[in-house]
A and B are shown apart, each in its own frame.
Chain A
Amino acid sequence: MSSGPQTTTGPLPIGQFVKLVQKTVKQDPLFQHQALRGEVSQWNVHNGNVYFKLRDDDGQLDCVIWRSARIKVESTIKEGSDVVVIGGLDLWPKRGNLQLVVRKIEPVQTIGALEEAKRALIAALKDEGALDRARMPLPGMPKHVAIITGAGSAALSDMKRLISNRWPGLRTTVIGVLVQGERAVNELVRGLAVTRALSRTDVAQKLGLPPVDAIIIGRGGGSVEDLWAFNLEPVIRGILASPVPVISAVGHEQDILVSDLVADVRASTPSNAVELLVPDRHSVMMMMDDVDMRLIEAVKRRLGELRQQLMLLISQLKHAPGKGVFRAKEQLAVLGNRMKRGAEHSISIQKQRLTRLEATLSASHPHRVLERGYTMVQNDDGDVLTTLASLQQGQTVNLQFADGRAAADIHTIEPKEEEK
């Protein structure tokens, strides 16, 4: 038995072994897609690559952020920062040490830091009067409700069930968004932008819908961190910018969220929001029927009363002539007498005037003159002849006396000297 270079059971060259380890590590998803939390130490930038150690009380690991990976590193990360990294293990055969190749790194905001930011936001909102602003009342009968909440969430099914119990077929638009995690803020803000558009009459009209007139934004309960998006300024600004009332509907008990402080209405849970907003169809219909009946009954009763009053008046008139009527009759009689007397008086005056006129007239009548001895000369036609010029020699004229007439022939015509 002899050993030789061709044996395969001899010791493995270290390089080969390290490469074997490297291969194993790189193939195991457990080591390749891992989120790790720890404290940053020995932060060191070299040629654009960042080297640091991630550590906690029980262990530590070398980490690298390759420049070529173009990873966004927040400027707040520094020595001692509490961070979460996502990355995969690698082993550098030449040096034989394990290191974590970082694909993502983010600072862990401690609840303390978050609380601080929340307090600052509340103070700022208070300063600008957003907390004391006049709240919009919820519509008595919403025609188009928008709900921004987790797609497929339990909160959404609760709300849907409650809506169909209270007002089956109520027009509702649900916008499914992420309500927790790093994308939650962005999605909630975008959801609010959509509802803002849907509340515009022109946009809604083009979609063949009535405009959104109330918005529920919320989610079921969760840990303080899970609910944190509802404390962040972009979401708060979105709520404040809504032209229609917004209900903040986040399921939680202790902590007040900033969205609760600025919303038009605060609901304790998503279901509570539906209860506050959606009327119960059955009771509304009963109320309408009741009002309809009361309206008709009240008018009927009043008309009955008025008719009775009228009947009473008529019978009073029939059986006991009112003072007024009696007096009116008297008055008429008096007036009639006065008119009669007045007329008689004016007639007698006219009569007297006529007698006087007669006397005057008779005084100037030709007969009166004839009676005094004058004679009136007329031609055959009855014309009164008053000058010689109208006479001719031999003409027969009529002489009119008071007691009769006579015919006479003209013999001579002698005008007066001065008349010639």
Chain B
Amino acid sequence: MTEEKMTYDEAVQRLESIVAQLERGGKNLDETLAMFEEGTQLLRQCQTELSEAEGRLAELSLDDAESMVKDEE
């Protein structure tokens, strides 16, 4: 596992490969448990990211939008 946080897409990809490898079987106990641990963490990360997409829909006029970002730039 890398220290850097994976993007949602990378996490889903890795998750799928872990599940596929586990389903193929043949891994020893340590590997199996390590993969399960990683898979569970990735699943949690994905679910967190999904919940982070929840927000609200803001409709702004161009002038309002400009002054909003201008204040923060």
Identify the A interface with B (CB < 8 A): 137, 139-144, 151, 160, 163, 167, 169-177, 187, 190-191, 193-194, 197-198, 202-203, 206-207, 209-210, 284-285, 288, 291-292, 294-295, 298-299, 301-303, 305-306
B53 x A291 contact (CB < 8 A): no
Distance (whole angstroms) from the CB of A81 to the closest CB of chain B: 32
| Interface check B59, CB cutoff 8 A | yes
A210 x B22 contact (CB < 8 A): no
When A139-B9, A143-B49, A197-B73 are in contact, do A172 and B32 touch as well, CB less than 8 Å? no
B65 x A169 contact (CB < 8 A): no
The interface on chain B, measured as residues whose beta carbon lies within 8 A of the other chain's beta carbons, has a size of 42
Kindly identify which residue among B32, B53, B56 contacts A167, using a CB–CB cutoff of 8 Å.
Answer: B53
A-B contact pairs, 7 of them (CB 8 A): A139-B8, A140-B9, A167-B53, A169-B56, A172-B55, A190-B62, A291-B16
Output the nearest chain B residue to A190 by Cβ-Cβ distance. B62
Number of A-B contacts (CB under 8 A): 123
Going nearest first, the 3 A-B pairs with the smallest beta carbon separation are A171-B55, A298-B22, A197-B69
B72 x A207 contact (CB < 8 A): yes
Identify the B interface with A (CB < 8 A): 7-9, 12, 15-16, 18-19, 22-23, 25, 27-29, 32-33, 35-36, 39-40, 43, 46-47, 49-50, 52-62, 65-66, 68-69, 72-73
Residues from chain B with a CB closer than 8 A to the CB of A190 are 62, 66
Cα distance, A306 to B26, chains bound together (Å): 9
Kindly identify which residue among B7, B58, B60, B73 contacts A140, using a CB–CB cutoff of 8 Å.
Answer: B7
Cα distance, A210 to B55, chains bound together (Å): 10
